[in-house]
Each structure stands twice: as C-alpha cells, then as structure tokens.
Amino acid sequence: MKVLYLYCKDRPLIGFGYFFVFFLVILAIFADLICPWPPQTANPDDYLQAPSWRHLFGTDETGMDIFSRCIYSIRLDLSIAFLGTAVSAIVGTAIGALVGYYEARGRLKTVFSSFTMRALDVIQSFPVFVFAIALVAIFGQGLYSIIAAIAFVNMPIYVRLMRTQALSIRQMRYVEAAYLSGLSDVRLIIKHIVPNSMGPILSHLSVNVGWSVLLAAALSFAGAGVEAPTPEWGSMIAVGFKNIVTGQWWPSTFPGIVLGLTVFSFALIGASVEVLADPVRRRAAIAKY
C-alpha cells in the first residue's frame, strides 16, 4: 500500500483511477442503503423527470430513477467484467502455459501447439464485438452467456501472453534443473512456469476488466445483454438513447458518464500495475522517496 501511495503521490490521475474504482466498490456494497428508489420498479407518475433533488439523475420513460439504477448497475457490470476476465485469464493462462511448455518438445506436441495457435488466430480474426454477439445468440440471452462470451473473446490474449512467457522461462537454468531433478511436467508448470510468468498477465488484467465492462455494456446496448429492466449501464444507454432526440438527455448521459469513467479508471490502474509489477521500474518510479 505504501508503494502504491508513493507512486500515486506524483501521479494524481492514477490516484483518481484507484479512488474511483474503490468508490464504485463501496457504492455497490452499500447500494441498498444509498439508493433512494428501487432500481427496477416503474413509477409512471414520474416518467422522464429531469434531474432534481427528488431524482438526482432524473428518471427514464417508465419513471425508474436513473441514479439508483446507475448505482445498482455497478454490481452487475463489475461482476460480469471480473468473472469474465477471471475465467479468460485462468483458462488462457493454463492453455498458454501448456502450449509454451510443450512447444518444441516432440513432433506430436508441436502439432498440438500449432493447432492451438492457429485456432486462436481464427478466433481473433473475427471482430470481437460481432463474435461476442454471435456467442450470446448461440448460448441464449442471459447473464452466464455474457460472461462466457467475454471470457471466450478475451482468452486468446492470455494464451499468447502466457505462451510467450513460458517459452522463455522454459529455457531458464532453474527450470532445466527442476526438470532434471525429476519434477513432473504438471508440477513444473504449476510451481515454476506460471508463477514466474504472471507479471504481464497481471498488468493486462486491470485493463481487461475495464474493457470487459465496455463489452458487457456494448452487448446490452445492442440488445444482446441482460433482460429488461435489469439495471445495467449499456442497456440504460440504449433505452435512453432514443430520448436524446426527443429532448431528454439524462436517461443515457449519466450511465454513459459512469461507464466512461469506470473504463478510464481501470485503464489507469492497468498502466500503474505494469510498472509496479516490475521491480526495476517500480524502484525507479518511487526512487525519490
């Protein structure tokens, strides 16, 4: 924490990123206490009310309070993003470690590696958003489908990152020594390859969480996300989008701002993790303290 504090001291924007994400998490935990209105209850008497003390962010066309819905959305959007990213990181790391470790170790294993990498090429050749929509269409609309889609489209990045790391670490003396001492392949991968390859993976995680928030919102915006009237930033923007033309700017603007700040904050955190995960760069960054 001290290192983080010292790092952020000279970098207020990075500090804002951490603060905003922390703030979001607090809001999500205490949403039931903070929100003045239930997030999914229509109140037609209050439809399309402009921002006021009664409704801080105004109301949408069914009279639901935008402020309360924005706060409740944090729970869902961050859960989707964290779960989707975690699944992609775990599965991608495991596949990447296996591919990297076995590459150049025997003909059959090279075939396995080549096949995996070409399969990833195919997956990555599709536009991510279109691919995610297609996956949701196949699995059916719902929370788990969105998480699965996010995990699937993110996974190749982790496979590639881990493979590159594994290829290099596999050549290290201590890995050779462990191999010669009779450690099984699985234990060698778990004990030595994976722990020593985690730097780039960790730094990518934070950026990826922000990106996953954006993807989840985009899926909902396109109508392939959560079911109405579940509070979710993307679907709120989609529902409120048509009101901009009719003069009601608030139903889509506020969730848009919160979404933008969230993605930005995770990107800032990602940039700092990249530095802080590297001992040399970390020392240099806080050298003056």
Partner 1 sequence: MDRRSFLKNSAAASALMTVPLASKVASAGKKSNSLIFASPGTPQSLDSEFDTSLGTFDFISACYDSLIAYDTMPDPKDPDAKREDLKKYPDRPSGHKMYGKLAESWKIAPDMTSVTFNLRKGVKSHWGNELTAEDVKWSWDRKLALGAIGGFFASVIGLSKPEQIQVDGKYTVSFRLDKPAPMLMRLHRNPYNNILDSKKCKEVATGDDPWAKEWLKNNVAGYGPYNLVSIDRGTSAVAKARKDYWGGKAAIDTFIMQEVTSSSQRAQLVKKGSVDVAQFLTPLEVASLKNAPNVAIDSVQSSWMDWLHLNCAEKPFNDKRVRQAMNYAFPKAAAIKSVYQTYGKVLEGVMPDIYPGYVPGTTYNKQNLDKARDLLKDAGYPNGFETYVIYDAGQTFQEPLLVLYRTALEQIGIKLTLKKTPSASYFKEIVAKKHPLTFYRDAPWSPDPGYALNLYYLSSSFVNYSNYNNPEVDKILTAAASEGDAAARFEMLDKCQSIILDDAPVVLISNPDFSLVRNKDLKGYTYRTYNHTVAGDFYWS
Q: Which is nearer to partner 1, 133 or 175 (CB)?
A: 133
Smallest distance, partner 1 to C-beta of residue 243, A: 7
* 62 scored as a contact of partner 1 (CB under 8 A): yes
Q: Closest by alpha carbon to 120, among 77, 160, 88, 78? A: 160
* DSSP at 65: B
Smallest distance, partner 1 to C-beta of residue 172, A: 53
Q: Closest by alpha carbon to 162, among 107, 199, 116? A: 199
* 247 scored as a contact of partner 1 (CB under 8 A): yes
- Using CB under 8 A, pick the residue from 10, 127, 227, 283 that binds partner 1: 227
- Residue 85, both tokens: 């990213």
**Which one of 26-34, 154-162, 194-202, 242-250 is the stretch in contact with partner 1 (CB under 8 A)?**
242-250
Please answer whether residues 233 and 73 qualify as being in contact, where contact means their C-beta atoms are separated by less than 8 angstroms.
yes
Q: Closest by alpha carbon to 270, among 192, 210, 194? A: 210
* 129 scored as a contact of partner 1 (CB under 8 A): no
Q: Which is nearer to partner 1, 1 or 32 (CB)?
A: 32
The type of residue at 243 is N
Phi-psi sector, 106: left (phi>0), alpha (psi -120 to 50), beta: left
Smallest distance, partner 1 to C-beta of residue 84, A: 21
Smallest distance, partner 1 to C-beta of residue 250, A: 14
- Using CB under 8 A, pick the residue from 16, 47, 129, 139 that binds partner 1: 47
* DSSP at 194: T
Virtual torsion, Cα 77, 78, 81, 87, nearest 10 deg: -130
Q: Using the structure block, give the residue that is written with the tokens 């924005």.
A: 70
Please answer whether residues 131 and 227 qualify as being in contact, where contact means their C-beta atoms are separated by less than 8 angstroms.
no
* 61 scored as a contact of partner 1 (CB under 8 A): yes
Q: Which of residues 63-82 bind partner 1 (CB under 8 A)?
A: 63-64
**Which one of 9-17, 165-173, 177-185, 227-235 is the stretch in contact with partner 1 (CB under 8 A)?**
227-235
* 15 scored as a contact of partner 1 (CB under 8 A): no
Binding site for partner 1 (CB under 8 A): 40-45, 47-48, 61-64, 141, 223, 227-229, 239, 242-243, 245-247
